[in-house]
């Protein structure tokens, strides 16, 4: 199952980030999916995560996400990645700055029955704010 779970993460990255198809989350996440973001008390459900991702994609329309490391054990997959792009659309309430952005993150996904149930992590928001010129 570890290799299948890693393939699901790769598919998630390819489909959502690199092709802009956030609806693939309907296929690869469990109905009780929870997206746990650093600094937020309440996890996002699938629909809220789709809206979050779409906002990021709209704010950085020339985005490209690259997986740097991908590890799996038991029911978990850890993935280390970077996102490169240009801030060309509204992002986190900030109007486009035209600045180049590079975000790095390490996320963990937990699987049940081949579907992502829990997803922890996220980019360094302080660094993102700095790159947007807010710090």
Task: List CB contacts of 10: < 8 A, sequence separation 6 or more.
Answer: 67, 70
The boundaries of the domain holding residue 113 are: 2-131
Q: Which residues pair with 94 in a beta bridge?
A: 91
Q: Provide the number of structural domains found in the chain.
A: 1
Range of lowest pLDDT (19-23, 103-107, 121-125) = 121-125
Query: pTM for this structure?
Result: 0.92
The token duo for 27 is: 């296929």
Residues in the chain: 135
Per-residue CA distances from 34 to 3, 42, 69, 102, 116 (Å): 22, 9, 23, 25, 9
In this predicted model, what pLDDT tens digit does every residue of 45-104 receive, in sequence order?
999 999 999 999 999 999 999 999 999 999 999 999 999 999 999 998 899 999 999 999
CATH assignment of the domain containing 23: 3.10.450.50
């Amino acid at each position: 199952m570890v290799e299948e779970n890693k393939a699901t993460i790769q598919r998630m990255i390819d489909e959502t980030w690199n092709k802009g198809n956030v609806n693939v989350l309907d296929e690869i996440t469990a109905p009780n999916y929870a997206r746990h973001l650093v600094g937020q008390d309440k996890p996002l459900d699938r629909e809220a995560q789709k809206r979050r991702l779409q906002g990021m994609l709209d704010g950085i329309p020339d985005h490209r996400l690259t997986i740097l490391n991908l590890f799996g054990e038991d029911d978990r997959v850890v993935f280390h990645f970077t996102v490169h792009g240009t801030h060309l659309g509204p992002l986190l309430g900030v109007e486009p700055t035209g600045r180049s952005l590079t975000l790095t993150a390490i996320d963990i996904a937990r699987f049940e029955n081949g579907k992502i149930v829990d997803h922890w992590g996220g980019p360094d928001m302080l660094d993102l704010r700095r790159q947007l010129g807010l710090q």
